[in-house]
């Protein structure tokens, strides 16, 4: 199965991507993993990306696309994959379609993790990070024994700038602007499945597996 996972920040894509990929016995391919691998290995694409990042610039789409193309060409992805973090925009989705068509295959399904904005803000704004060990706690879901103090090493906990409610709201606006057309693009092609991503992690994973089960009969 060839699957794309989409959803807003805080929807749990990274966690669900891992579990779903394991269930389907396909590699989880995230743009973050691809970037880290190329940069750490010093590949030509990694060196290009690093030059942009070192300047504080965004890595151009062209570099990202070529990294994805190289990763999808690797042996473990020839019979299926789960993409997390790509495509993010409709033009990227069209490039992915062309990539797969060149390989004689096509995308099977796009799974959208659906979470209300208020829940996303609650999830992300409640995170607290230890200044010493960087362990992340949550004021509601995983609070430390003593407020503001890390259970692991006694380090002070703080709220990262990225976890401020105002910053999260802005990220959600950007996501909606960029990704709403992408979701519509896949919906019009009959590839989109919306999945309620609220509740315990195991429950969300089971919903995903149940939603994908009918499609697995085709493979």
Condensed to tens digits (0 to 9), the pLDDT of residues 108-149 reads 999 999 999 999 999 999 999 999 999 999 999 999 999 999
Cβ contacts of residue 8 below 8 Å, gap of 6+?
Answer: 113, 115, 117, 120, 172, 175, 176, 179
Average pLDDT over residues 50-77: 89
Preceding omega of 97 cis (within 30 degrees of 0): no
Of 53-62, 151-160, 173-182, least confident by mean pLDDT is 53-62
Is 90 exceeded by the pLDDT of residue 59? no
List Cα–Cα distances, 24 to 69, 96, 133, in angstroms.
21, 21, 34
Give the mean model confidence (pLDDT) for residues 66-77.
Answer: 94
Examine the pLDDT at 219 and tell me if it is beyond 90.
no
Residues sharing a CB contact under 8 Å with residue 69, sequence separation 6 or more, in sequence order: 99
pTM: 0.85
Per-residue pLDDT tens digits for 6-36: 999 889 998 999 999 999 999 999 988 898 8
For the domain bounded by 2-26+79-216, which CATH number is listed? 3.40.50.300
Give residue 162's pLDDT. 87
At 188-217, the pLDDT tens digits run 999 999 999 999 999 999 999 999 988 875
Question: Number of C-alpha atoms within 13 angstroms, CB side, residue 30?
Answer: 12
Active site residues: 13, 88, 127, 160, 171
Beta strands in 85-197 (DSSP E): 109-114, 127-130, 136-138, 157-158, 192-196
Per-domain residue ranges of the chain: 2-26+79-216
| Pair 107, 53: CB distance under 8 Å | no
Burial class (CB in 10 A: 0-12, 13-18, 19+), 11: buried
Q: What percent of the chain has pLDDT over 70?
A: 98
């Amino acid at each position: 199965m060839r699957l794309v996972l989409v959803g807003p920040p805080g929807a749990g894509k990274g966690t669900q991507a891992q579990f779903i990929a394991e269930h389907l016995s396909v590699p989880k391919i995230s743009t973050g993993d691809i970037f880290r691998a190329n940069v750490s290995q010093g590949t030509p694409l990694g060196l290009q990306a690093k030059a942009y990042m070192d300047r504080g610039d965004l890595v151009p789409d062209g570099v990202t696309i070529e990294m994805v193309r190289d990763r999808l060409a690797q042996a473990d992805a020839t019979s299926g994959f789960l993409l997390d973090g790509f495509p993010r925009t409709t033009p990227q989705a069209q490039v992915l379609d062309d990539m797969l068509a060149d390989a004689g295959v096509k995308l099977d399904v796009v799974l959208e993790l659906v979470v209300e904005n208020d829940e996303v803000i609650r999830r992300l704004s409640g995170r607290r990070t230890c200044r010493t060990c960087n362990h992340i706690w949550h004021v509601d879901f995983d609070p430390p024994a003593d407020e503001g103090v890390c259970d692991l090493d006694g380090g002070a906990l703080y709220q990262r700038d990225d976890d401020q409610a105002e910053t999260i709201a802005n990220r959600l606006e950007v996501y909606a602007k960029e990704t709403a057309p992408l979701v519509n693009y896949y919906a019009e092609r009959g590839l989109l499945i919306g999945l309620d991503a609220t509740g315990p992690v195991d429950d969300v994973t089971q919903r995903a597996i149940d939603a994908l089960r009918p499609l697995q009969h085709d493979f």
